[in-house]
Amino acid sequence: MGQKINPLGFRLGTTQSHHSLWFAQPKEYSEGLQEDQKIRKCIKNYVQKNMKDFSGVEGIARIEIQKRIDVIQVIIWMGFPKLLIEGKPKKLEELQRNIQKELNCVNQKINIDIPRIGNPYRHPNILAEFIAEQLKNRVSFRKAMKKAIELTEETDPRGIQIKIRGRLGGKEMARVEWIREGRVPLQTIRAKIDYCSYTVRTIHGVLGIKIWIFVDEE
């Protein structure tokens, strides 16, 4: 059995940077982590609730959180920012209120910034959401994986690997299916690899999706 490690944590400080930037005393560190988790959960729930015609894809590539003494800066990198930018001031204010209510913070101001990312399907989170939506709509998992690879290849990555685990096609036995295009060097620290794991609930049970995208080598 091979020893597996999260590709993002493995490359921290070289090709990968932190998604949360703040300092805390050792005793208060766990509270800060729980705050981050609440912020991310609140944003995802809000986007899901306000999704309209975007084929079920939330389009959030990543959420970065920077904390200062009196300000919490939240940067939501989105592939399809129309979800939150239509009627922008109202929606952003509502999201800010939701987060403040969730955190119960009176002394801290919350700033939200929503930059758009180019090539949304080059980001594994958005790609995983796309595959999950296809599987929910009972599209064959092989078709969904091939379509996802086609979408990614348009953005010209060096390599991509997709793995789906669970009761595929409603079969009784759970199994693993995977597909790879190009090369994905998991042991090379210089290689910039984007990774995500995602769970999707279908009528047959829960499926796990893992995606590795080899972007470039430094």
The CATH number for 198's domain is 3.30.1140.32
107 & 185 share domain: no
pLDDT of 160 over the 80 cut: yes
187 & 135 share domain: yes
CA atoms of 51 and 58, how far apart (whole Å): 7
Residue 85 token pair? 């930018």
131 touches 148 (CB < 8 A): yes
- Positive or negative, the CA dihedral 165, 169, 175, 178 is negative
Domain count, the chain: 2
Least reliable range by pLDDT among 104-108, 112-116, 137-141, 179-183: 104-108
- Mean pLDDT (whole number) for 80-96: 72
Could you list the residue range(s) of the whole structural domain that residue 50 is in? Answer: 7-113
105 & 129 share domain: no
pLDDT of 56 over the 60 cut: no
pLDDT of 65 over the 90 cut: yes
pLDDT digits (tens, 9 = 90+) for 68-79: 888 999 998 988
